[in-house]
Amino acid sequence: MNAAAGGAMEVTPGTGTMETTAGTSRVVEFAIAGMTCAACSARLEKVLNRQPGIQANVNLAAERARVRLAGEADEGAVIAAVARAGFAASLVDKDTRAREKARRAADYQREIRRFWIAVALTLPLVGQMFFMFGDAHHHPELPRWLQLALATPVQFWIGWRFYDGAYKALRGGGANMDVLVALGTSMAWGFSAAVTLLGLDQHVYFEGGAAVITLVLLGKLLEARAKARTSEAIESLIRLQPKTARIERDGQWVEIAVDALMPGDIFMVRPGESVPVDGEVVDGASSVNEAMLTGESMPVGKAAGDKVFAATANGQGALRCRATGVGEQTLLAAIIRLVGEAQGSKAPVQRLADQISAVFVPVVCVIALATFAGWWLYAGDFAEALVNAVAVLVIACPCALGLATPTAIMVGTGQGARAGILVKNVEALERAEKIAVLALDKTGTLTRGEPQVTDIVSLALDADQALRLAAALEQGSEHPLARAVLARAVAVDLSKVANFTATPGQGVAGEVDGRSLRLGAPEWLGMANDPAVLRLQQAGKTVVVLEEAGTALALLAIADALRPTSRVAVERLRARGIRVVMLTGDNAATAAAIAHEAGIDEFRAGILPGAKAAAVAELKSGGLVAMVGDGINDAPALAAADVSFAIGAGSDAAVEAADLTLIRSDLCGVDDAIELSRATLGKIRQNLFFAFIYNVLGIPLAAFGMLNPVVAGAAMAMSSVSVVSNSLLLKRWRPQGR
């Protein structure tokens, strides 16, 4: 179900809480510390979902948990449950990202220092391996006490993180990657230490445990570095907004922090500056580069009455503006919030990976035990059995499996945001590549959404008087056609309307200057077959009739020009094999003219707003249906569709109602979103293949004694790095034509 059906959400500034108007539940976001692999996130999610009133979604790559709280459940219960599971949780606020960035930078530097210490201690141990290919009894071997001295700090100091993580996981009732690494390396070190201390005539494997820990640490460092790049899209958006603004106070211009701006404040944007908040131009003229929000490189002209958006770059002119949206109410804030939500949500394709991760570690431990027992019974060599069991434990690390989906999603949704495509939930993004039927609203979607009165045909009243009466009636209506009539009569002194009523999809009625009038569709007023009406409709114009006591006084023809890119977009969509259908409340003649101009073969005319949802449901017989609308008026149809797109820059209603929002007022964005869906899902499938193939091939090889633990450690580390690096290739994605 789309958000349109469930109510809009509001973000409380400065907290991680999102209140929903649809009920008493609320969604809270937590930062999670201590997760190391997919098993961690799967176990934590299971622990949280067992708590009463808590529904959680845990994202390993983003290190976030989005939790829906209901009933008596509160933030404290979540933090306590996370702690019992062996992790740490903190409520996300406006400063969380900065704190996390600083913490990760410090942790990264500390881990680098430990890694180089591990390298220095491990290299002498590993160096011996190069001599093993010769005569095993004559290669120069370091004294065993020296090997013990070198390996022990690596095992218990450098590798303490694995013991700590394993203890917390087991205490929480689960197992993770740390259990595998700690168990495998401890077995190798323990056996070798016993041989050394007891003076037994056995080979020691200090180099195996030390090398595995060092290689795993290297993999973690490379993984952390790559993961940081997956969130660059949000970071770049955050950096866009200026820190200060120039506002008018008592006739003087004063520079203040952007956070201190209030709705209604007058602010100045000088040439070359960025717009601090959303606003409306009061005076001045300039061109503004909105590429950072819409992906459109061409500057947009701005004059008095036009909207400007936070973080967009002003051109050569100066603009004096009135603040309309500040803080969390700006379009930029909405984009950042939606990108973050999308990156924290799960695609259905990830469910398989989650299910496997939940049972993976226990199964691997059983396989390792069976390998140990089998080799000991078969070969009668305890040391050989131990080495092969350790190799199984090490190669089986499920890190890559847990990173396969979220890293691709984080990069894909980030690239979408840069191109003006906002993904509200990843499930919709996954479905987008399977769209078979695309239903299009006409006004504001195919057309510019700026209807204008083109003709006034006098029948029983002169044109000026007809316009005055019609505009007076439309004062109480918010319909786009009403705005067109009022715009034409902007210089006319309008009378007040009494007893105003509106019939959805038909027209309005009321009393103006003592005259009982109706203004609406020809079908409503019995003029559907009038030759003058038909002539205007066949020209692609929408006709409304002004009537008094059954007598038609005048005809008003209103036209809304087709967007320049609409025909190109329809051609691109049809080239994909998508069936394009236009849904409109207009009459058949006008609909046919617009459909022909846009290159659409199929349309449904005369559909009332409430019936669009039924029309969308009917189209589902032809496959997965997407709906494109331009605002909250299309909410029922958007909710009924399998995938919903909202088109139109700066529309708060559209942002909240749709699965995907196209910030640019361009239907080509739908095709771009479908291509983004295919690119992202393609990367996810590749990643899952890489993750599975490492384990499917690696575990049997290790079990049959064909993998040394050191080689297994290197392969395990590189599996995570390869998955994240493959996801980063999505940064190459660009919308068609740009």
Q: Are strands 88-91 and 497-503 parallel, antiparallel or unpaired?
A: unpaired
Q: How would you class 19 by CB atoms within 10 Å of its CB: exposed for 0-12, middle for 13-18, buried for 19 or more?
A: middle
Axis-axis angle for helices 232-240, 399-418 (nearest 10): 30
**Marked catalytic residue, from 178, 265, 354, 441:** 441
DSSP 15: S
CB-CB contact of 698 with 712 (8 Å): yes
Contact in structure between 218 and 123 (CB atoms under 8 Å): no
Minimal CA–CA distance to 419: which of 664, 118, 164, 110? 664
579-583: strand order across its sheet: 421-423, 660-662, 643-647, 625-629, 437-441, 579-583, 602-604
Q: How many CB atoms lie within 10 A of CB 421?
A: 27
Active site residue 441: yes
Strand ranges across the sheet with 286-289:
300-302, 286-289, 313-314
d(CA 431, CA 477): 37
| 208's tokens | 């195996």
How far is residue 96's CA from residue 29's CA, in Å, rounded to a whole number? 11
Say whether 453 sits in a helix, a strand or coil: strand
Judging by beta carbons within 10 Å of its beta carbon (0-12, 13-18, 19+), is residue 254 exposed, middle or buried? Answer: exposed
Is residue 237 a contact partner of residue 339, using CB atoms and an 8 Å limit? yes
* Cα–Cα distance, 414 to 336 (Å, whole number): 10
Cβ neighbors of 80 (< 8 A, separation 6 or more) are none
The single-letter DSSP state of residue 349 is T
625-629 and 643-647 strand pairing: parallel
Q: Environment class of residue 263 by beta-carbon count within 10 Å: exposed (0-12), middle (13-18) or buried (19+)?
A: middle
What is the pairing mode between strands 437-441 and 452-458?
unpaired
- Name the one residue in this structure whose structure tokens are 């919903």: 644
Per DSSP, the residues of 653-700 read HHHHH-SEEESSS-THHHHHHHHHHHHHHHHHHHHHHHHHHHHHHHHH
What is d(CA 320, CA 478) in angstroms, rounded to the nearest whole number?
A: 28
**Any residues with CB less than 8 A from the CB of 650 and at least 6 apart, and which?**
278, 307, 309, 331, 663
Residue with tokens 């190391």: 36
- What residues act catalytically? 441
